[in-house]
């Protein structure tokens, strides 16, 4: 009898919580919710557009993180293409074209995230 008294209320609480979690109704007149920053949604840079920055590549404190030190600060280089990333080495002077993503969450914890669309040696 003791087991039943603790199991039934716990099962009811779980069922209630599951019902609340699956409330996926969308009001057709309401605007769509903004994507969560944890999804790392990156919009493509429009052709002919983007921001160009030049500086020196340095390694971040976290493994695999590359920063571009410029006169206005540090930019965390985010590469969508592993081949492009592998061509960038610490100590290099480069120019990158891309888009700053100030709200992007990363594990590097340094610099302003900058999604790179192209790289050139300076």
pTM as predicted = 0.60
b/e string for 68-80 if b means 16 or more Cβ within 10 A?
beeeeebbbbbbe
- Over residues 48-71, the mean pLDDT reads 92
Write down the pLDDT at residue 40: 29
CA-CA distance, 49 to 110, in Å (whole number)? 25
Across the range 106-120, mean pLDDT stands at: 94
What is the domain partition of the chain in residue ranges? 37-121
- CATH 3.40.190.10 for domain 37-121: no
């Amino acid at each position: 009898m003791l087991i039943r008294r603790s199991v039934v209320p716990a099962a009811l609480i779980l069922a209630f919580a599951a019902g609340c979690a699956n409330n996926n109704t969308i009001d057709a007149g309401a605007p769509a919710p903004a994507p969560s920053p944890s999804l790392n949604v990156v919009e493509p840079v429009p052709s002919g557009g983007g921001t160009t920055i030049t500086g020196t590549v340095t390694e971040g404190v976290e493994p695999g993180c590359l920063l571009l030190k410029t006169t206005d600060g540090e930019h965390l280089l985010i590469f969508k293409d592993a081949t492009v990333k592998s061509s960038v080495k610490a100590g290099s002077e480069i120019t990158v074209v891309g888009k700053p993503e100030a709200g992007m969450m990363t594990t590097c914890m340094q610099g302003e995230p900058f999604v790179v669309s192209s790289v050139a040696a300076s």
